[in-house]
Amino acid sequence: MLRPILAAVALVGGAYAQDDEHRATIRQMGYLAGDWAETRNGVTVEEHWVGPVGGVMAGVTITHSEKPGAKTRIEFMSIVEKDDTLVFIARPDGQPPTEFRLKEADNGIATFENPDHDFPQRVIYEIAGEDLNELKARIEGTIDGKSRAMDWSYKRLPR
């Protein structure tokens, strides 16, 4: 119970990447810490986050299915303080890292952007739920000029 309260306290103030007075810090992303999962149509997506430690949040996403022949996918992620802002770094399935700079962090929602990336151009996290036991994740952007998005609604796993 203490962890959700501390996360909520850390999220009370808004922060914008361009506003030096209210610069976002890695502590604001502490709500990600823990184990999260969603199962939809026989596919389970898990996110596991640790930190913030030493200015870093570290995470891994594991996508798996019990269907015969289904490939398990792994994506390593981190959020770091860099150049006076937060940067989300994605490393899906062994691909080179892609950086998304924080655009906005406010009231438990963090939006990271990289307008030059093919897809997605935005990564969004939101802590939700009565006891802050739900983590909403969204990637969005355009493909061939058409808006696209993918959403996940994770539940906190017991430790």
Taking only the tens place, the pLDDT of each residue in 109-135 is 999 999 999 999 999 999 999 899 999
Q: Which amino acid is at 82?
A: K
* pLDDT at residue 104 in the model: 94
Helix (H) / strand (E) containing 105: strand 98-106
Pairing of strands 34-40, 43-53: antiparallel
Which superfamily, per CATH, for 2-156?
A: Calycin beta-barrel core domain (2.40.128.20)
How many CA atoms within 13 Å lie on the side-chain side of 15? 25
Measured between alpha carbons, how far is 149 from 151 in angstroms, rounded to an integer? 7
90 contacts 98 by C-beta, under 8 angstroms: yes
* pLDDT tens, residue by residue, 42-99: 999 999 999 999 999 999 999 999 889 999 999 999 999 998 899 999 999 888 999 9
Q: What are the sequence ranges of the domains in the chain?
A: 2-156
* pLDDT at residue 24 in the model: 80
